[in-house]
Every structure is written in structure tokens, then in C-alpha cells.
Amino acid sequence: MKKYQYVVYKLTFPNGKIYIGKDIGGSGHSMRYFGSWDNYTVESDFTKEQLADFTLRKEILFESPNKEETTRKESELICAHKSNDPTIGYNRTHRKRIIPD
């Protein structure tokens, strides 16, 4: 069985929003790992009935034997996919800072 090493993945939720994450765990990528997205934020987008039958799609976007390269690629893909825009995705990092006048 082939196993992915360190990966960047994309989760697609039933409402079409996405989350970009990385798995750089000690023994390589685990198919059971689905990231650290904010549960409350995601749950608030769905009804109780929708949450009762919930399907996520997980796609591996990038693989590397190097943790640092994987971390850099995760940042790049969050920005490229705009998953840090609340109307598009659930990433809460890499947001544009608004500087007051």
C-alpha cells in the first residue's frame, strides 16, 4: 500500500465551501486526519438535519517528504484558493489585515 508523506489537502463541504490544511504528522499522512477547522463556524452554516447526513470530500493537492516545503505550500494554496475568504472557505489564517485610518 502506498502511503502519502507530508501533504496539503483540500476539504470540500456540502455547501461548496473549502478548507485547505496540511498533515505533517510524525509517521506521514493519515487518511483519518481532517484538519483543525473551527467546528462552531462550520456548524453554524448547516441545519441540524443537514449535519445528520454530512459528507466531506478530501483531495490531496500536494505531497512532499519535506515538512517545511509542505507548510509553505499550504500557505500558498490557502491564498490561491481564497479559502481564507469567509464566503469561500473556512480557513481563518492568512486573512488580509484592515489597517484603520
The pLDDT > 90 percentage for the chain reads 68
Identify the burial level of 14 via C-beta atoms within 10 angstroms of its C-beta, where 0-12 means exposed, 13-18 middle and 19 or more buried.
middle
Give pTM, 2 decimals.
0.85
* Side chain identity, residue 42: V
Q: Is 70 a residue whose pLDDT tops 90?
A: yes
